[in-house]
Amino acid sequence: MTTTGFSRRGFLAGLGAVGAATALGGCVTSTGSQAAGGSASGPVTLQSNLSAPSAKAAMQALVDSFNKKGGTQASLNTVASETFRTQLPTYLTSANPPDVLTWYAGSVARSYAGKNLLLDVSEVWNGLAGYSDALKQLSTDSGKQIFIPASYYFWGMFYRKSNFAKWGVTAPTTWAEFLQVCETIKSKGVTPIGLGADNSTPWVASGWFDYLNVRINGANYHRELLAGKHSFADPQVHKVFDQWKTALPYFDPKGTALSFQDATTNLLQGRTGMMLIGTFLLDTTPKEDVDDIDFFRFPIVDPNMPLVEEAPTDGFYASAHTQRKPQTLEFLKYLTTVEAQEAYLKSSAGSSLPANSTAKDSGTPLITKGKEMLNKAADLTQFFNRDSSDALQPTADAALIKFIQHPEQIDSILTDWQSAAKKVWTS
């Protein structure tokens, strides 16, 4: 470049350009892509992470039926679940947030409530019929309600009735019977237990950990452990893995190489005998196979332990920064009604149970059986990440997948897990 002196005019022109660009920058940032918000008069925005086609359609049906009533209107904004999870803090802290968000009950909701990001929805709970005390407890943080449950589902050992009949086995109730069933299925040349915890869905393995832990150490110990009050290197936790080891020989050797969708396919096609999974497996099951699907309760390990089941609860909460508080509360109130929950279940695969006990579920024998199982349970847990935090889930994934592949390294796995978990608890 040639050396040139700055002329005054050139400099001023440059300044002008700078000014233009700054003004421009101002425009750009002010129209930055906000999460769906709006003015105080617009419709109530519902940010949903249910991006599966059937669930998305069901959500739309729900919003449409609310809009048909006239008065307050609502609009649905569906986001891919991975994006939703990473953006959630942004949604909640934004000055112009989505009013209502889909999420789940438990410690994650409570931690946001503790930071004053969630709207107090006690008003909606006032005189709410059809909701159990347990659900109210689950939705409460420091004396006020911050969550509106919409539906819940259950976990169990799912299998095909026709295959169990063919192999001559019946659903077991105790661990010893369970291993016996595995042995029989294995002798027929079939892999007894499918898993489906590959790199995309490693959390499936946490179901096994949760269940064995509540069966052996009870729900209170389980919750305290997940809250960081015990160490993962404790002998109690070790016992869980010793128990698990007795079933590992019956696990699908490809269990950590398949996603749970592929594992479900294997179960339906009779390549595996059973699988510990939530009722969402029905969402991807072909219609003609649904009637052949049944489940049994996770086997009893210690007969002195009260029976605890996993019942993850899904629902809604609202942002504390909402500019449409009355309309938002009205919409949430609608979401608790029998009409709304039945409309949702009708449009979805009907694999979950409505939170409002007076609403009708899909009424299939399987769902009815699951409902009874939960009603008889001494206590309900949510699921690993819902009882702890989404930050703790990756530590569990690493530890459990490693255990399934290398059970002999359990001691080092547990100490590593504890040091990784400690970072999450103290951060």
**Min CB(398)–another protein separation in Å:** 4
Give the separation between CA 373 and CA 370, rounded to whole angstroms. Answer: 5
**Should residue 306 be labelled a site residue for another protein when binding is judged by CB under 8 A?**
no
Nearer to another protein, 202 or 354 (CB): 202
Q: Pick the piece of the chain touching another protein (CB under 8 A) from 95-103, 171-179, 254-262, 307-315.
A: 254-262
Distances (CA, A) of 245 to 189, 191, 212, 268, 386: 21, 16, 11, 26, 25
User: Which of these, 316, 197, 319, lies nearest to 252 by C-alpha position?
Assistant: 197
Phi-psi domain of 234 (left: phi exceeds 0; alpha: psi -120 through 50; beta: other): beta
Residue 109 is which amino acid? A
**Min CB(388)–another protein separation in Å:** 12
- Based on its alpha-carbon atoms, the radius of gyration of the chain, rounded to whole angstroms, reads 25
Burial 353-389 (b: 16+ CB within 10 A, else e): bbbbeebebbeeebbeebbebbeebebbbbbbbbbbb
**Should residue 363 be labelled a site residue for another protein when binding is judged by CB under 8 A?**
no
Handedness of CA 54, 348, 42, 141 (dihedral sign): negative
User: Which of these, 22, 41, 40, lies nearest to 30 by C-alpha position?
Assistant: 22
For another protein, the binding residue among 33, 39, 304, 427 (CB under 8 A) is 427
**Should residue 256 be labelled a site residue for another protein when binding is judged by CB under 8 A?**
yes
Give the separation between CA 285 and CA 22, rounded to whole angstroms. Answer: 56
8 A C-beta contact, residue 146 and residue 120: yes
Q: Pick the piece of the chain touching another protein (CB under 8 A) from 119-127, 163-171, 194-202, 309-317.
A: 194-202
Give the separation between CA 265 and CA 375, rounded to whole angstroms. Answer: 30
Q: Give the total of residues touching another protein (CB under 8 A).
A: 54
**Should residue 34 be labelled a site residue for another protein when binding is judged by CB under 8 A?**
no
**Should residue 200 be labelled a site residue for another protein when binding is judged by CB under 8 A?**
yes
**Min CB(391)–another protein separation in Å:** 4
For another protein, the binding residue among 128, 257, 338, 374 (CB under 8 A) is 257
Nearer to another protein, 161 or 406 (CB): 406
**Should residue 95 be labelled a site residue for another protein when binding is judged by CB under 8 A?**
no
- Supply φ then ψ for residue 215, to 5 degrees: -70, -30
**Should residue 44 be labelled a site residue for another protein when binding is judged by CB under 8 A?**
no
**Should residue 190 be labelled a site residue for another protein when binding is judged by CB under 8 A?**
no
Q: Looking at the DSSP assignment, which residues form a beta bridge with residue 319?
A: 118
**Should residue 63 be labelled a site residue for another protein when binding is judged by CB under 8 A?**
no
**Should residue 422 be labelled a site residue for another protein when binding is judged by CB under 8 A?**
no
**Should residue 80 be labelled a site residue for another protein when binding is judged by CB under 8 A?**
no
Nearer to another protein, 134 or 257 (CB): 257
For another protein, the binding residue among 54, 72, 73, 93 (CB under 8 A) is 93
**Should residue 68 be labelled a site residue for another protein when binding is judged by CB under 8 A?**
no
**Should residue 62 be labelled a site residue for another protein when binding is judged by CB under 8 A?**
no
**Should residue 9 be labelled a site residue for another protein when binding is judged by CB under 8 A?**
yes
**Should residue 248 be labelled a site residue for another protein when binding is judged by CB under 8 A?**
no
Nearer to another protein, 19 or 326 (CB): 19
Residue 110, Cβ neighbours under 10 Å: how many?
Answer: 18
Residue 151 is which amino acid? S
Nearer to another protein, 18 or 129 (CB): 18
For another protein, the binding residue among 187, 405, 412, 415 (CB under 8 A) is 405
For another protein, the binding residue among 96, 379, 391, 407 (CB under 8 A) is 391
Residue 40, Cβ neighbours under 10 Å: how many?
Answer: 10
User: Which of these, 56, 341, 384, 50, lies nearest to 207 by C-alpha position?
Assistant: 384
**Should residue 270 be labelled a site residue for another protein when binding is judged by CB under 8 A?**
no
Give the separation between CA 393 and CA 281, rounded to whole angstroms. Answer: 21
Q: Pick the piece of the chain touching another protein (CB under 8 A) from 126-134, 318-326, 376-384, 417-425.
A: 417-425
- H or E stretch including 335? helix 325-335
Which residues form the interface with another protein (CB under 8 A)? 2, 4-7, 9-10, 12-14, 16-18, 20-22, 24-25, 27-29, 85-86, 89-90, 92-93, 112, 115, 117, 198-200, 202, 254, 256-258, 262, 390-391, 393-394, 397-399, 401-402, 405, 416, 420, 423-424, 427
